[in-house]
């Protein structure tokens, strides 16, 4: 323990003794434990239900298992920003993979991902709790616990152990903003921790780079503003530790830049820092931030997938445009943000005059980050796939922090008696408990890979069939037949990895994602490719079936196939064609010949079909 830590420990103990409304340490720890209950229950439910990563989650998990192997990840995942700028790039580092890797090497994919991500989020909550108490005592800690609990509730149960970057980084970003307040207020002992959390965010998803600039500006501004109050005589040791943390965590990213194959990733990122041809723009950015900050439901649960809808660029008479539906008009958004900013400034000024320095620091950080978020979002490059909520997901914890600061500043305006303060603490406790109990219930937000959770039964039936590939490796996984955003292929690859079935790819984007060691070299004796839905039902090419399944059980699958084949035979007579041609027409839904009871089963049967085909030695 450093001298600075000892000093803060002494201050904490003194505060506990001087403030009669300050709960004991066991009670404060208990309050924090209440906030993590939804994470624990969500992870336990995932284990009980045999949950496993699908879609991009599986793709990300593969790399966690690669840590400390011959295909050790030096970089983060391939980033979809590559599509916008026309050059394959990765997120800067693999720190998140390193943190999950112990679980990945000890447990099967499902338990490893759920427990690993859940553990990191629990650590983030405990750090938010401890840091907020260190910065502002129980007065700040109770509000931090409240807003963290509500933010976790907004995510919903299944997002609390989701390894997908957009969801996995929400609580760590909230932690960074709290740490930024402490550093801004003069607590240099928090610098190494802030450096570690910042590294995690920037390495895992490059979208945090722009907003991080404004976090730094805010901290620097407060330090300059309060320079006469802050004692910086003990800065050398924290700075040394901070530099050591940064050097350690970024060493592999710089190693790849200078000694890795081809053009280094840092050069790729810096060379495309200006973005692509089309960006979100200030108007759209202001509308998104305003919707989260000044209009209900703000950053709450229902806004998680509804505030920013998936929207593509449209070509009009005046060129390309991006019209985001459902958001408030630009003028109203700007006015709302201006009012929110003015209120923050006035309350921050009041806190400064009352010598509530930590609260004043929080006010400056919140104001700068709020306004900076508009600039940061405006720089977001929009590519052919358009904009999706996950592109701007960091705005949710950012706005939760802004509202947290606003409430803390407003509550500090009035002098409160001990009795009133206890009532306030009790009220906060009730809300935290309510948010926790509400969040214990299952909720899978339709965000990212979790939106395809209904495909799990289909994939669960596929898993044992993959064993047929064990005697025909290495396997080339052809990704040219994949549907956009399909959830299957990466899960198949993840299961191949678990079974020590070597697989390779020849797509440059997938090679950037899966590592150079998985680059195909034309020596693979077997190639596999996948088809879904009607394509899987009607394929009659030369490849052989490696594995197939649907959401229906084997008995139901055969029952529905018989129903469709009978309908196809009748349809063939009616329209004068062959049964096979009629069958294909029904697969394409060109004829509606089923009654209301049959149609849902037929639709499920068609859409949920999944077949993995193979060529080469696996077919001999």
Residue 6 pLDDT class (50, 70, 90 cuts): very low
- Mark whether 439 and 479 lie in a shared domain: no
Q: Which SS3 state, helix, strand or coil, does residue 93 take?
A: coil
Domain interval for residue 100: 24-446
Q: Which value, in Å, is the radius of gyration of the alpha carbons in the chain?
A: 27
**Residue 10 pLDDT more than 70?**
no
pLDDT at position 14, please? 36
pLDDT at position 3, please? 41
Model pLDDT for residues 140-185, shown as the tens digit of each residue: 999 999 999 999 999 999 999 999 999 999 999 999 999 999 999 9
- Mark whether 176 and 62 lie in a shared domain: yes
Domain boundary among the residues 401, 428, 446 is at 446
Domain boundary among the residues 446, 468, 492 is at 446
pLDDT at position 8, please? 43
- Mark whether 261 and 367 lie in a shared domain: yes
Classify residue 205: in a domain, yes or no.
Answer: yes
Token reading at 574: 């009616």
- Mark whether 615 and 569 lie in a shared domain: yes
Among the listed residues 189, 193, 51, the one whose alpha carbon sits nearest the alpha carbon of residue 123 = 193
Classify residue 420: in a domain, yes or no.
Answer: yes
**Residue 530 pLDDT more than 90?**
yes
Q: What is the pTM of this model?
A: 0.93
Classify residue 164: in a domain, yes or no.
Answer: yes
**Residue 252 pLDDT more than 70?**
yes
**Residue 13 pLDDT more than 70?**
no
Classify residue 323: in a domain, yes or no.
Answer: yes
Residue 525 pLDDT class (50, 70, 90 cuts): very high
Domain boundary among the residues 411, 446, 481 is at 446
**Residue 397 pLDDT more than 70?**
yes
pLDDT at position 275, please? 67
pLDDT at position 358, please? 96
- Mark whether 230 and 273 lie in a shared domain: yes
pLDDT at position 20, please? 64
Residue 4 pLDDT class (50, 70, 90 cuts): very low
Among the listed residues 535, 30, 65, 508, the one whose alpha carbon sits nearest the alpha carbon of residue 261 = 508
Mean pLDDT of the residues in the chain: 92
Average pLDDT over residues 100-105: 98
- Mark whether 343 and 299 lie in a shared domain: yes
C-alpha to C-alpha distance for 60 and 534, rounded to whole angstroms: 29
**Residue 212 pLDDT more than 90?**
yes
Average pLDDT over residues 479-486: 92
Distance between first and last Cα of the chain: 66
- Mark whether 611 and 463 lie in a shared domain: yes
- Mark whether 158 and 265 lie in a shared domain: yes
- Mark whether 524 and 427 lie in a shared domain: no
458 φψ region: left (φ > 0), alpha (ψ -120 to 50), beta (else): alpha
pLDDT at position 461, please? 92
Q: Where are any strands of DSSP class E within 421-549? A: 475-477, 503-504, 526-532, 544-549
pLDDT at position 11, please? 39
Model pLDDT for residues 305-338, shown as the tens digit of each residue: 889 998 988 887 777 889 999 999 999 999 999 9
- Mark whether 409 and 283 lie in a shared domain: yes
pLDDT more than 70, % of the chain: 96
- Mark whether 401 and 527 lie in a shared domain: no
Classify residue 132: in a domain, yes or no.
Answer: yes
Q: What are the helix (H) ranges across 515-553?
A: 533-538
Residues linked to residue 611 through DSSP beta bridges, in sequence order = 531, 548
Q: How far is CA 303 from the centre of its chain?
A: 16
- Mark whether 456 and 307 lie in a shared domain: no
pLDDT at position 305, please? 87
How many structural domains are present in the chain?
2
Model pLDDT for residues 349-387, shown as the tens digit of each residue: 999 999 999 999 999 999 999 999 999 999 988 877 788
**Residue 613 pLDDT more than 50?**
yes
pLDDT at position 19, please? 63
Token reading at 197: 């959390």
Average pLDDT over residues 412-417: 79
Average pLDDT over residues 103-126: 98
Give the contacts of 158 (CB within 8 A, at least 6 positions apart).
42, 46, 442, 443, 444, 445, 450, 453
Average pLDDT over residues 83-109: 93
pLDDT at position 80, please? 80
Three-state SS letters, 166-209: HHHCHHHHHHHHHHHHHHHCCCHHHHHHHHHHHHHHHHHCCCHH
Residue 5 pLDDT class (50, 70, 90 cuts): very low
Model pLDDT for residues 425-475, shown as the tens digit of each residue: 999 999 999 999 999 999 999 999 999 999 999 999 999 999 999 999 999
**Residue 187 pLDDT more than 70?**
yes
Classify residue 8: in a domain, yes or no.
Answer: no
Classify residue 17: in a domain, yes or no.
Answer: no
pLDDT more than 90, % of the chain: 83
Classify residue 10: in a domain, yes or no.
Answer: no
Model pLDDT for residues 143-154, shown as the tens digit of each residue: 999 999 999 999
């Amino acid at each position: 323990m450093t001298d600075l830590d000892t000093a803060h420990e002494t201050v904490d103990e003194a505060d506990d003794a001087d403030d009669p409304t300050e709960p004991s340490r066991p009670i404060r720890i208990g309050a924090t434990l209440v906030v993590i209950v939804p994470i624990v229950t969500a992870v336990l439910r995932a284990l009980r239900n045999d949950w496993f990563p699908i879609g991009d989650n599986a793709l990300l998990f593969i790399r966690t298992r690669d840590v400390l192997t011959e295909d050790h990840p030096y970089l983060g995942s391939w980033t979809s920003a590559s599509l916008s700028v026309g050059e394959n790039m990765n997120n800067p580092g693999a720190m998140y993979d390193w943190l999950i890797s112990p679980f990945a090497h000890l447990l099967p994919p499902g338990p490893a991902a759920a427990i690993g991500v859940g553990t990191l989020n629990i650590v983030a909550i405990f750090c938010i709790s401890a840091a907020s108490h260190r910065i502002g005592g129980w007065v700040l800690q109770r509000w931090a616990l409240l807003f963290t609990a509500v933010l976790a509730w907004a995510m919903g149960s299944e997002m609390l152990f989701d390894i997908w970057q957009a969801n996995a980084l929400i609580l760590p970003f909230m932690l960074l903003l709290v740490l930024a307040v402490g550093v801004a207020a003069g607590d240099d002992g928090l610098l190494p921790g802030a450096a570690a959390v910042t590294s995690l965010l920037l390495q895992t998803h490059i979208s945090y780079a722009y907003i991080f600039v404004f976090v730094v500006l805010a901290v620097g501004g407060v330090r300059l503003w309060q320079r006469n109050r802050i004692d910086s005589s003990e800065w050398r040791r924290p700075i040394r530790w901070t530099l050591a943390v940064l050097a350690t965590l970024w060493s592999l990213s710089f190693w790849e830049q200078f000694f890795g194959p081809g053009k280094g990733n840092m050069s790729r990122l810096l060379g495309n820092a200006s973005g692509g041809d089309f960006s979100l723009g200030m108007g759209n950015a202001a509308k998104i931030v305003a919707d989260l900050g000044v209009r209900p439901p703000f950053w709450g649960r229902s806004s998680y997938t509804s505030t920013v809808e998936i929207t593509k660029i449209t070509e009009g008479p005046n060129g390309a445009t991006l019209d985001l539906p459902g958001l408030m008009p630009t003028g109203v958004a700007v006015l709302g943000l201006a009012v929110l900013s003015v209120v923050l400034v006035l309350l921050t000024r009041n806190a400064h005059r009352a010598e509530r320095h930590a609260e004043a620091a929080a006010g400056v950080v919140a104001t700068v980050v709020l306004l900076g978020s508009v600039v940061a979002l405006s720089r977001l490059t929009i590519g052919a796939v358009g904009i999706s909520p996950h592109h701007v997901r960091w705005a949710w914890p950012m706005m939760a922090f802004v509202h947290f600061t606003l409430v803390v500043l407003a509550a500090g305006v009035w002098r409160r008696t001990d009795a009133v303060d206890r009532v306030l603490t009790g009220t906060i406790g009730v809300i935290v408990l309510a948010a926790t109990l509400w969040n214990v219930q299952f909720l899978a937000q339709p965000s990212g890979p979790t939106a395809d959770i209904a495909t799990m039964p289909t994939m669960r039936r596929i898993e044992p069939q993959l064993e047929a590939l064990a005697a025909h490796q290495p396997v080339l996984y052809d990704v040219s037949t994949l549907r956009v955003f399909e959830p299957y292929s990466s899960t198949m690859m993840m299961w191949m990895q678990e079974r020590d079935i070597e697989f390779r790819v020849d797509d440059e984007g997938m090679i950037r994602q899966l590592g150079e060691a998985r680059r195909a070299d034309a020596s693979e004796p077997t190639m596999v490719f996948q088809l879904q839905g009607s394509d899987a039902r009607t394929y009659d090419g030369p490849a052989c079936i490696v594995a197939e399944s649907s959401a229906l059980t084997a008995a139901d699958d055969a029952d529905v196939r018989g129903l469709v084949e009978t309908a196809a035979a009748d349809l063939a007579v009616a329209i004068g064609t062959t049964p096979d041609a009629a069958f294909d027409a029904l697969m394409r839904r060109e004829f509606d010949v089923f009654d209301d009871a049959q149609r849902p089963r037929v639709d499920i049967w068609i859409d949920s079909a999944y077949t993995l085909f193979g060529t080469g030695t696996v077919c001999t």
